[in-house]
């Protein structure tokens, strides 16, 4: 009985010990498992935090790189734009300088001449600026040397301001009185003058402004006018006494024979001379003088007018002109004078009245 109780007690103790041991081992395992679990969770959290930190750092770095790239791109764009602007400014300034240089390279000089005998003209240029200059163009015309000798030289003149465009200069506005406007083209070695409008009102008969003008003020060639041959007969020649005596003797011998014939011839000579003298002393009329001027000028404009104006020292003075219609004038317009001509009624000589006045 006692053995049974002892065995039972031992068994109970063993069972209790087993149970206690299991409980201890189970708690230990649980604690170990919990600790391991906690360590795993902490490790994961740390890893997660590190990943998040890496992701944030990476994102920050990407943002920073993006900002830097934008800044660099903006700087490059600005630099490109700046270079482009500088380049365009440089090209513009270069173009302007080339343009200015080209304009400056055109030498308009101060004088150009249409060097044609009896059709002479002089172009004078003054007050030159970068794109304008003042000019005066004076032209003359004569039929020949005889006309020059008589003073029958027609003139024309146009003045104004010209605007320069490269190698071409054009009169800015037509002349208010004559309506004349010209254009000048510079070919370096010469200047070509052309009329833009009708310039007949600014020029005398046969005078024109067009043509090729050489550089420089070239004087018109002097015209050599031959003097009339001198009479070599010496009216004051006095013969010697012997020659005079011989002549008197010869004359006396012949006088007796031809006295009657000589008297008859002298009478007819005197009569003829008196008639000739009377005819030559008769002056021509104004109408006859006007016809002489018409024949002398041969005007090709049917609207031209040649009329008597006044007398000057016995000579008839005629006005040669046309009437120019002007819409700004209510009356019949204004006259454009071609010239003034004088006629000597005794010798029938025709001359340029204005030239003779100079």
Give the residue-averaged pLDDT of 218-232: 66
Distance of CA 6 to the CA centre of its chain: 148
Instruction: Tell the CATH topology of 286-357.
Output: Nuclear Transport Factor 2; Chain: A, (3.10.450)
User: What is the DSSP code string of 191-221?
Assistant: EEEEESS--GGGB-TT----EEEEES--PPP
Distances (CA, A) of 44 to 39, 47, 108, 240, 353: 8, 5, 95, 169, 128
Cα–Cα distance for residue pair 140/88, rounded to 1 Å:
53
pLDDT digits (tens, 9 = 90+) for 279-338: 456 899 999 999 999 889 888 788 889 999 999 989 999 999 888 776 665 555 677 888
- The CA angle 150-153-159, to the nearest 5 degrees, is 155
The pLDDT of residue 237 is: 45
- The CA angle 249-252-258, to the nearest 5 degrees, is 140
The pLDDT of residue 233 is: 47
133 neighbors 169 (Cβ within 8 angstroms) = yes
Query: Which residues neighbour 29 within 8 Å (Cβ) at sequence distance 6 or greater?
Result: none
Give the residue-averaged pLDDT of 2-31: 68
- Whole-prediction pTM value? 0.41
Cα–Cα distance for residue pair 207/337, rounded to 1 Å:
12
Q: Considering only CA atoms, which of 302, 276, 291 is closest in space to residue 341?
A: 291
pLDDT digits (tens, 9 = 90+) for 177-204: 889 999 999 998 899 999 999 998 888 7
pLDDT digits (tens, 9 = 90+) for 38-51: 666 677 777 787 88
pLDDT digits (tens, 9 = 90+) for 231-268: 554 444 455 555 555 555 555 555 545 444 445 445 55
> At residue 216, does pLDDT exceed 90?
yes
């Amino acid at each position: 009985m006692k053995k049974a109780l002892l065995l039972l007690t031992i068994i109970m103790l063993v069972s209790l010990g087993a149970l206690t041991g299991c409980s201890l081992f189970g708690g230990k395992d649980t604690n170990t498992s919990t600790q391991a679990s906690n360590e795993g969770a902490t490790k994961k959290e740390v890893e997660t935090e590190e990943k998040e930190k890496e992701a944030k750092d990476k994102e920050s770095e990407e943002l920073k790189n993006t900002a830097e790239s934008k800044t660099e791109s903006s700087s490059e764009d600005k630099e490109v734009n700046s270079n482009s602007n500088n380049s365009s400014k440089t090209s513009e300034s270069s173009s302007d300088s080339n343009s200015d240089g080209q304009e400056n390279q055109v030498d308009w000089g101060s004088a150009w001449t249409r060097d044609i005998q009896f059709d002479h003209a002089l172009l004078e240029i003054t007050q030159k600026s970068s794109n304008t200059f003042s000019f005066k163009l004076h032209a003359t015309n004569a039929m020949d040397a005889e006309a020059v000798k008589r003073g029958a030289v027609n003139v024309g003149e146009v003045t104004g301001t010209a605007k320069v465009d490269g190698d071409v200069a054009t009169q800015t506005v037509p002349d208010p009185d004559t309506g004349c406007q010209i254009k000048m083209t510079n070919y370096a070695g010469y200047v070509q003058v052309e009329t833009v409008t009708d310039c007949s009102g600014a020029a005398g008969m046969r005078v024109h402004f067009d043509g090729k003008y050489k550089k420089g003020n070239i004087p018109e060639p002097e015209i050599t006018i031959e003097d009339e041959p001198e009479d070599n007969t010496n009216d004051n020649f006095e013969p010697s006494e012997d020659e005079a005596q011989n002549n008197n003797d010869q004359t006396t011998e012949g006088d007796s024979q031809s006295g009657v014939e000589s008297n008859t011839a002298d009478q007819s000579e005197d009569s003829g001379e008196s008639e000739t003298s009377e005819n030559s002393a008769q002056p021509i009329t104004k109408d006859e003088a006007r016809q002489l001027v018409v024949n002398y000028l041969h005007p090709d404009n049917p609207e031209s007018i040649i009329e008597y104006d006044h007398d000057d020292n016995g000579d008839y003075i005629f006005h040669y002109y046309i009437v120019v219609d002007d819409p700004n004038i209510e009356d019949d317009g204004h006259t454009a004078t071609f010239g003034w001509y004088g006629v000597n009624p005794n010798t029938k000589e025709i001359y340029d009245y204005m030239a003779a006045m100079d």
